[in-house]
Structure formats: C-alpha cells, structure tokens
Amino acid sequence: MLPFTMLETNRLRLRHFRDDDCAPFMAYRNDPEVARYQSWEGITESEARALIQDVKEIQPWAPGEWLQIAIELKETGLLVGDCAVKIEEDDERQAEIGYTLSRVYQGRGIASEAVSCVLEHLFASLGLHRVIAITDCENAPSVALLERLGLRREGHFHQNVWFKGKWGDEYLYAMLQEEWQNMHSTNNPL
C-alpha cells in the first residue's frame, strides 16, 4: 500500500492528526448531537490525547486497523472532523469508511467533499475493489450523503446492534471501483 501523507480538495486538507488537534477534536467528540449516531458518548482530554497518539503511530492502510484522517479547513487550519478507513484484514481489496464532522460545519458540503476525496484515493490510488459504509437508519444526513456520493444501499439490518440502550437498525451502503470510475470519468456527461 502507498503511504498516507495528505490529501487535498479545494477547501480541505485531509491529514494525520497532530497534538494541537486535541481541543477541537474534544469539542466535536463531546457534542451530544455529533455523538448521537456514533459508538461513543464523549471523550476526556487524556483519552483524546491517547487516541491522537495512537493514530499517529498506526501504519497507514494496515489491514484490520482503523486509520483516522483529520479534516482541516485550508482557510483557517482548523480541525473540523475526521474520516476513518479500515482496510479489511481478510481481503485488502475492500474497505469500510466512516466520518464525523463538527456540528458547526455540518450542512456545508464538507463531509461530502472529504468522503469523496477519500473514496477517490481508495479507488484510484490504492486500487481497492469495494468500499462499504454502515449508518444508523435514523441518521438522515448520513444516508443522504452516501446516496449523493453514489453508494448503493445493499442491506437493511433490523435491530442488529445494541446501541445506546436500545436495539438499532443500520443500513449497509457499498460502491465498487468500476462504479466510482464510471461516475467520475471525463466521458461521463454528468
């Protein structure tokens, strides 16, 4: 696998986490609305510092390991969220993607821009065959994001996860490399 250093879009830098990301990272991780559909409720400063240190030491694209990628606004240099990618341990041609964005920056197309950039890297640079994303069925903005990016809903899991004190439903979305290429080819009139 190619090493990960940084990816860029018009407005964003997708990069490794740094020690000075701790405060903004804690701010969005401790926002109950941001945590609503996440597996976590919040994070202490020591947990945030440990997580940042851990992700700095992970070998990028190591199968079976989640790589957390910081989302930074180019204009301000501020951390506004993160994307996470896990290359499947038993098949390095497949991956799962996730994302979290500070509530202040939601609804501005930032998550779409970041996830699209990561998908482009996974399919074009790393040559992955398939990428999946799993989202809570009640998370309408996440469902809309995945569908807007062209991922197809492949599954609806009913009460498959014990989540924050109740059984939750999840959707499974996926995209193949050839589908991504067809959507983004220069010959595509869309």
Residue 20 sits at the vertex; the CA angle it makes with 16 and 24, to the nearest 5 degrees, is 90
Report the chain's C-alpha Rg in angstroms: 16
The reported pLDDT for the residue numbered 81 is 97
Q: Which residues pair with 173 in a beta bridge?
A: 133, 153
Task: Work out the number of other CB atoms within 10 angstroms of the CB of residue 25.
Answer: 25
Nearest to 73 by CA among 18, 8, 135, 127: 8
Q: In this predicted model, what pLDDT tens digit does every residue of 91-128 receive, in sequence order?
A: 999 999 999 999 999 999 999 999 999 999 999 999 99
The reported pLDDT for the residue numbered 190 is 45
Q: Is the pLDDT of residue 152 over 90?
A: yes
For the chain, the distance separating the N- and C-terminal CA atoms, rounded to the nearest angstrom, is: 31
Q: Is the pLDDT of residue 74 over 90?
A: yes
Could you state, in order of their start, the residue ranges of all structural domains in the chain?
6-184
**What count of Cα atoms within 13 Å lies in the side-chain half-sphere of residue 77?**
2
Q: Note whether 71 and 58 are within 8 A (CB).
A: no
pTM of the model: 0.92
Q: In this predicted model, what pLDDT tens digit does every residue of 2-38 receive, in sequence order?
A: 678 899 999 999 999 999 999 999 999 999 999 898 8
**Which two tokens mark 177?**
């490399």
Q: Note whether 27 and 99 are within 8 A (CB).
A: no
CATH code assigned to 6-184: 3.40.630.30
